[in-house]
Amino acid sequence: MLQLSFVGQMIGSLGLGALIVMGYGLVLRHFSGKWYEDYASAVVLACGALAAMTNPIVLESGYIFDARAVFIALAGPFAGPGGAVLVAACTVLPRIMIGGDGVTAGVTGIIIAAGAGIIFNWLFPNKRTPAGFLLLGCLAALMVLSLFMLEFRTALALMESIGFTLTLVNILGIVLLGSALEATKRSADYLRDVEFNAERDPLTGLYNRRALGQFEGSLGQSVSPDKLHGCVVLFDIDRFKSVNDRFGHARGDEVLQRVAATVTSRMRRSDFVVRFGGEEIAVVLLSTSVDDAYRIAEHIRALVEKLVFTHEGETFTVTVSAGIAAFTVGETKLEEAFDYADRALYRAKNAGRNRTETLSVPVSQAAPVRANA
């Protein structure tokens, strides 16, 4: 009867897994960056362990058994070593406060479960499969040895009564919950990839025209008052067709990638860089005057001019031309600013290429800008 009662309560505790999976999914969707994701995941798993501790089987003299080990062991692969330590600390303290004759064994079991997760993550970082979680469950099952922190006869009696059941339920819980968490992570990663590829150019990694449309739609809603004025800079690689014709499309792709990297290397996080056309790269500079945009464009132009490319022992260089136009959110449509930047770029091409030109949007539609010949 004790074993059946134990199984029932453990399964009830593992039902928390559904909430933990939901919480983990929220973490993956709303936290970016390895450090933030790991520690947010640790908090979710710690909550699961603490919740499991609220539904224990309590034997006489303070021997407490619950499903906490499942959540603690999974902290290693899903929250990293630091997250596993955090989850262990969050469960050790309440166990000490509960007290009883089994406190030493309980704390030892928590440390063994956390250590199992850390060792598993270290030895098998890419083995988050049902078979891998079965191995993790077997490692975490060593926590049952913590019973021998008790008086020997007591430990033997507990091992005979619930040792096998405790081990089996913990292994099963780790396999099931670990598999569910991994499925959630893979789904979140897939969704991130889909969202990223939907708005990125696959060759250069820059934003595409679709993302530009979304950016324009959000300008008036998310931009602070000090960023309402900005500039559009439109870069075009000079004589790009001749590069493809002479050196092949593979070298043309390399040129595009390195020019794109050069442009983005000089941008702020608030700036928006997009592959506007075949060999055209556009930059939306917020809170930037025309004079500042001109200096930025000239600096990038000079950097591109210094790039050296090699093909079958032959070296070559490329240049870019740039056109600049200013815009004011709410007064000048970004589309119109792009049109004037394109006209300025056309002037730069006609003036001999490898230069930067600006063109003023009419005063009635935007703040006056200085034209540079």
Active site residues: 279
Q: 309: Cβ–Cβ under 8 A, 6 or more apart, which residues?
A: 247, 251, 254, 255, 258, 315, 316, 317, 318
> How many angstroms separate the Cα of 70 from the Cα of each of 23, 53, 226, 277?
16, 11, 51, 53
CB hemisphere CA count around 100 (13 angstroms)? 16
Short-list 62, 57, 44, 58, CA closest to 13: 57
Pairing of strands 356-358, 320-328: parallel
Tell me whether strands 280-286 and 229-237 are parallel, antiparallel or unpaired. Answer: antiparallel
DSSP line for 137-168 = HHHHGGGGGGGGGS-HHHHHHHIIIIIHHHHH
Pairwise CA distance, residues 284 & 226, whole Å: 15
* Segment holding 286, helix H or strand E: strand 280-286
Distance CA 109, CA 111 (A): 5
> Which residue, 63, 47, 60, 65, is CA-closest to 10?
65
d(CA 139, CA 119) in angstroms, rounded, equals: 9
Phi, psi of 297 (to 5 degrees): -60, -40
Cα distances from 352 to residues 277, 319, 321, 349, in angstroms, run 21, 11, 9, 6
Q: What are phi and psi of 168, to 5 degrees?
A: -65, -45
Q: What is the distance between the terminal CA atoms of the chain, rounded to a whole angstrom?
A: 92
- The amino acid at residue 6 is F
Q: The sheet that has 356-358: what strands, in order across it?
A: 272-275, 280-286, 229-237, 320-328, 356-358
